[in-house]
Structure 1
Amino acid sequence: MKKTRLSLFLLLSVILLSCKGNEVKPSEIKGQRIAIDEKIEPDAEIEEFVAPFKEHLNKTLDSTLAYNPNDMVKSDGDLNTAIGNLMADLVIEQANPIFKSRTGNEIDMVLLNHGGIRAGLNKGNISTRSAYALMPFENEIVVAELSGEKIKEMLTYLERAKTAHPVSGIQIEMDQDYKVTSAKINGEDFDEDKTYFVATSDYLQQGGDNMNFFKDPIQLYKVDYKLRNAIIDYFKKVDTLTVEKDNRFIRK
């Protein structure tokens, strides 16, 4: 046994010594940041291939869908803005028929987020490109069935936010300190013992913008309708936008 161990030791020593002259060293690695900008010369062959697709895409994006008689920006109001009202109203108009056909119920109200409005709408023709600028994300419309307690949490959230989060189907009055003094849903006083179907985006329903009251609803319904597609479909339908600021969410 001792001779065997000695033989193995001698064999390993010979192997190690024979490998010593053939050491493998790691290659030197260098990194370089290459900017992707206008300084890079375009590939003529690729540009020629892409050209017809680019032309078709631009034609689609720039085609007129509707007319906007007034400039709209999300900073033109304290607690409600024309563009925010537009966003919330079109969600009910476009999503409610789908929701009703699937569930037999109707959407009671809508709540979106002020930060989700990513661009304004200039006076003049409105195109598909306008809709993509307004909503560049792939957010989908969902409907959360919320208890009266969750609606109370929502109102508390809005008191703290002091922001023009787009709403529809609900009328909220606050005092000068942003405390809710009145809340009506579908024209009736908010009832803590009722449940309400609230349409929003999947991003907000999952707690985006700290809207945690949307989490764990009584029931969650998917509408399978992207918010941006709803905007485009609404623009195609209305011809001329007539939305404006109103008294749906105000301080008195």
Structure 2
Amino acid sequence: MKLRSTSVFLSLALLPIHLAAQPPSVKAEVIPVTEMLPDDPEVQKVIAPLAEEIKASFGLPLVQAPQGVFRGRRGEENLLGYWVSDVMRQAAQPLVGAPVRFAITNAGGLRANLRPGQLKVGDIFELMPFENELVVIELTGAEVIQVVKEGLLRRGGEPCSGVKVKVEGTPQQATLTVTWEDGSPIDPAAMVKVATTDYLYLGGDSIPTLKKGRKPFTTGVTLRQMLLDECAAMGKAGKELLAPAPGRYTVPVPILEAIRDKTFKL
């Protein structure tokens, strides 16, 4: 009798797994997230005070921008991008304790213009809704020129600070000249500090040369906070926010059109 019980136990233990008892199946249900979905009262109790605080802070005044600062329409220079890249260079220098010769951001990351009048906190959040951080790297002069070239081919020129860019000729035969902002030549072998974003440094927006950056230093400062601090400081000092002067990029219209049509090579 004992042997028979043992054999029955072993037989049950050796049953295939798919014959063992399975938990009851539960049918999944897709619930669309729309305005018709009711709010959870308990969740609302937690977030309501925070939402009110954030909403109130969005209305805080920062600085006057009497003429506004704009990204530029078709063929126009991105003066808003110039301002952002200027602030990037300015903010990066004290953080690394050394001159920062060049800065570049991406036009696609600037999601709103700064309209004329009193700028508020909410305006900067609209401009920069992402958590992109300010990063400082080291590139050679030759790599800086290549970064400019990649941005030019990508979008007709990404917003830069510290350089002047000139394209001459025709879409079929063009030449590119990149100098420092004062017109002096860029030494291809010289190592310089460059301010950019973690998004671009990690390969975003097709500027691969930025990934070659040496000694990357993540500042821990988001671009949005950097711009908020700059606007607040200007407002406190009684200054107005004015757009930078144009002229950093000089690109003939036929070449800009060829870039947009993806028929231009340099």
Would you say same fold, with TM above 0.5?
yes
1:197 aligns with 2:199: no
1:8–1:73 Cα change, 3 Å: farther
**SS of residue in 2 equivalent to 1:129:** helix
Deviates more, 1:173-182 or 1:213-222: 173-182
Structure 1 residue 66, shift from structure 2 partner: 1.4
CA RMSD of aligned residues (A): 2.9
TM-score when normalising by structure 2: 0.77
Report the residue type matching 2:133 in the other structure: E
- Structure 1 residues 179-202: Cα deviation after superposition (integer angstroms, max 9, x where no partner): 453211142112212122111001
Name which of 90, 95, 98 aligns with 1:98.
Answer: 95
Name which of 217, 222, 229 aligns with 1:226.
Answer: 222
Structure 1 residue 229, shift from structure 2 partner: 0.8
**SS of residue in 2 equivalent to 1:209:** coil
Structure 1 residue 84, shift from structure 2 partner: 0.9
**Which aligned runs of 4 or more in structure 1 are off by greater than 6 angstroms?**
none
Which structure 1 segments of 5+ residues have no match? Answer: 1-6
Distance in 2 (CA, whole Å) between partners of 1:123 and 1:52 is: 31
**SS of residue in 2 equivalent to 1:172:** strand
Which residue of structure 2 aligns with residue 243 of structure 1?
243
Is 2:148–2:157's contact at 8 Å kept on the other side of the alignment?
no
Deviates more, 1:49-58 or 1:60-69: 49-58
Is 1:77–1:164's contact at 8 Å kept on the other side of the alignment?
no
1:50–1:153 Cα change, 3 Å: closer
1:96–1:48 Cα change, 3 Å: same
**SS of residue in 2 equivalent to 1:60:** helix
Which residue of structure 1 aligns with residue 31 of structure 2?
34
Report the residue type matching 2:242 in the other structure: T
Which structure 2 segments of 5+ residues have no match? Answer: 253-266
Structure 1 residue 26, shift from structure 2 partner: 4.7
Distance in 1 (CA, whole Å) between partners of 2:9 and 2:233 is: 85
Is 1:108–1:186's contact at 8 Å kept on the other side of the alignment?
no
Is 1:81–1:164's contact at 8 Å kept on the other side of the alignment?
no
Distance in 1 (CA, whole Å) between partners of 2:207 and 2:56 is: 38
For residues 123-134 of structure 1, the aligned pairs below 5 Å read 123-134=116-127
Is 1:112–1:167's contact at 8 Å kept on the other side of the alignment?
yes
Which residue of structure 1 aligns with residue 180 of structure 2?
185
Which residue of structure 1 aligns with residue 78 of structure 2?
81
1:48–1:156 Cα change, 3 Å: closer
Distance in 2 (CA, whole Å) between partners of 1:70 and 1:45 is: 46
- Structure 1 residues 87-115: Cα deviation after superposition (integer angstroms, max 9, x where no partner): 11111222222222xxxx20001111111
Distance in 2 (CA, whole Å) between partners of 1:232 and 1:85 is: 16
Which residue of structure 2 aligns with residue 113 of structure 1?
106
Report the identity percentage.
23
Distance in 2 (CA, whole Å) between partners of 1:137 and 1:168 is: 21
- Structure 1 residues 11-30: Cα deviation after superposition (integer angstroms, max 9, x where no partner): 248954xx9xx963552331
Structure 1 residue 62, shift from structure 2 partner: 1.6
Name which of 48, 59, 62 aligns with 1:62.
Answer: 59
1:73–1:177 Cα change, 3 Å: farther
Q: How many residues align?
A: 239
1:75–1:246 Cα change, 3 Å: closer
**SS of residue in 2 equivalent to 1:215:** helix
For residues 146-165 of structure 1, the aligned pairs below 5 Å read 146-165=139-158
Report the residue type matching 2:156 in the other structure: T
Distance in 2 (CA, whole Å) between partners of 1:249 and 1:57 is: 38
**SS of residue in 1 equivalent to 2:148:** helix
Distance in 2 (CA, whole Å) between partners of 1:183 and 1:246 is: 16
